[in-house]
Amino acid sequence: MSEEVEVQLAGKNDRPPFRTAHAPGISWLVVILLLVISAFAVIHFGNLQPAVSPLPTTPGDNSTTPLVQPRIYTISYDSGVFSPTNLRIHAGDTVRFKNDSIFPIRIISDDLVGFDSIGDVPQGSFFSFTFAARGTFSYRNNHNSDQTGTIIVR
């Protein structure tokens, strides 16, 4: 008993039982639909008003003097140097002292009571202080009094 197997090769005109290409009109329809949705989103969300007044004023004050939002500044300490050495800020701003050195530091000031890190700031750590009063305040590393800086508060 010998069975013969007939092998057929698929030709160029043979198509798979499903469609592999979309009609070109459907692709353009999708593109146009996406453009219309994008335009609607821009029109709708582009006219939103901010939730807060763009120029905040003090309560009970009829003038239009804007309040300055408090900021956070960073002074880095590395290789025995504070950077920046001198910094100008506004009252209410916070200064973070970051220790990038391998040695601990202790920030102290003789000009402003309370401006003291109250202990060492180890490597990679921060000490933060918020300046409420205006003036010029010097600071130094308690471990080496030659390492100093100045904060000018307006």
Return the CATH number at 147: 2.60.40.420
End-to-end CA distance of the chain: 107
Q: For residue 22, tell me if it sits in a domain.
A: no
- 58 phi and psi angles, rounded to 5 deg: -75, 150
Query: What are the Cα distances from residue 4, in Å, to 1, 7, 10, 29?
Result: 10, 10, 19, 52
| CA 65 to chain centroid | 27
Which pLDDT does position 27 carry in this prediction? Answer: 79
Which pLDDT does position 110 carry in this prediction? Answer: 85
Number of independent structural domains in the chain: 1
Nearest CA to 130 among 71, 64, 51, 76? 71
Which pLDDT does position 130 carry in this prediction? Answer: 93
Tell whether pTM > 0.85.
no
Q: For residue 2, tell me if it sits in a domain.
A: no
Which pLDDT does position 111 carry in this prediction? Answer: 86
Work out the angle at residue 77's Cα, subtended by the Cα atoms of residues 118 and 83, and round it to the nearest 5 degrees: 120
Which pLDDT does position 71 carry in this prediction? Answer: 92
Q: For residue 53, tell me if it sits in a domain.
A: no
Q: For residue 82, tell me if it sits in a domain.
A: yes
Which pLDDT does position 129 carry in this prediction? Answer: 93
Q: Give every residue of the chain whose pLDDT is below 50, as ranges.
A: 51-53
Structural domain of residue 149, as residue ranges? Answer: 72-153
Q: For residue 65, tell me if it sits in a domain.
A: no
Q: For residue 141, tell me if it sits in a domain.
A: yes
